[in-house]
Amino acid sequence: YPYEQVLQDSFERVCRKWGVKAAPDAGKRFADGVRSWGPHPDVVEPLKKMGEHYKLVIFSNAEDAFLEESVPRLGADFHAVYTAEQAGYYKPRYAAFEYMLDQLDASPEDFVHVSSHTRYDLMPMHDMGFRNLILLDRGNDPVTHGYDYVTVKSLDDLNTMLGI
């Protein structure tokens, strides 16, 4: 299922849920517009610093072409970038994370995983045995007890925790 279609369908579902009447092509324009979004302003410098000490890896539900445009905007060097398109599965499916582990020849204990999403990343990863889980709290996800993640407000805070 193409990522652009996921974005378009999501936009249309939100409009229906909230009773918003959007132009017929609004969902497509939204999906097209997402490509132009840059990183949060507080991400680039701390991520670059983190990359000087750790191997950075991305696993995204976006498609390859989307990440080819967006990853360079992050300003850091990445050891690897994986997508749902490559894996054949979207997160939160375990198979998506298993694909990443197989590609890296790694195991859950090899990771410090940082995400702003409990449902799509931290919950399934906890269930798969990942233990170094960090929620970058942007105020979007509710507190989810029982999943043993550490909450930080910024990547600068995480870098401080990591001693860098």
The reply to whether 48 and 60 lie within a common domain is: yes
Same domain for 49 and 33? no
Closest CA to 117 of 61, 39, 46, 55: 61
**Cα(67)–Cα(57) distance, integer angstroms:** 13
CATH code: domain of residue 123? 3.40.50.1000
- pLDDT, tens digit, for every residue of 109-121? 999 999 999 999 9
Together in a domain, 68 and 103: yes
- Note whether 81 and 137 are same-domain residues: yes
In one letter, which amino acid is 117?
H
* Residues 17 and 51 grouped into a single domain: no
**Residue 32: per-residue pLDDT:** 87
Alpha helices in the chain (DSSP H): 3-18, 26-34, 44-51, 64-70, 84-87, 94-104, 123-127, 155-161
**Residues pairing with 133 in the sheet:** 113, 149
Tell me the pTM.
0.87
Closest C-alpha among 161, 162, 153, 164 to residue 43: 153
Residue linked to tokens 């409990």: 118
Q: For residue 116, what is the DSSP state?
A: S
**One domain for residues 66 and 5:** no
Residues 33, 43 share a domain: no
Domain match, 46 and 24 both: no
Domain that holds residue 24: 1-37
pLDDT score for 1: 74
Residues 22 and 83 occupy one common structural domain: no
Q: If you ran DSSP here, which 8-state letter would residue 119 be given?
A: I
One domain, residues 50 and 131: yes
Per-residue pLDDT of the chain (164 residues; tens, 9 = 90+): 788 888 999 999 999 999 999 999 999 999 888 888 889 999 999 999 999 999 999 999 998 999 999 999 999 999 999 999 999 999 999 999 999 999 999 999 999 999 999 999 999 999 999 999 999 999 888 888 899 999 999 999 999 999 99
Closest CA to 74 of 50, 51, 53, 43: 43
One domain, residues 111 and 57? yes
Check residue 3 and give its pLDDT. 84
Order of strands, sheet of 113-115, starting from the edge strand that comes earlier in the sequence: 113-115, 133-136, 149-152
- Our count of domains for the chain comes to 2
Question: 25 and 95 share a domain?
Answer: no
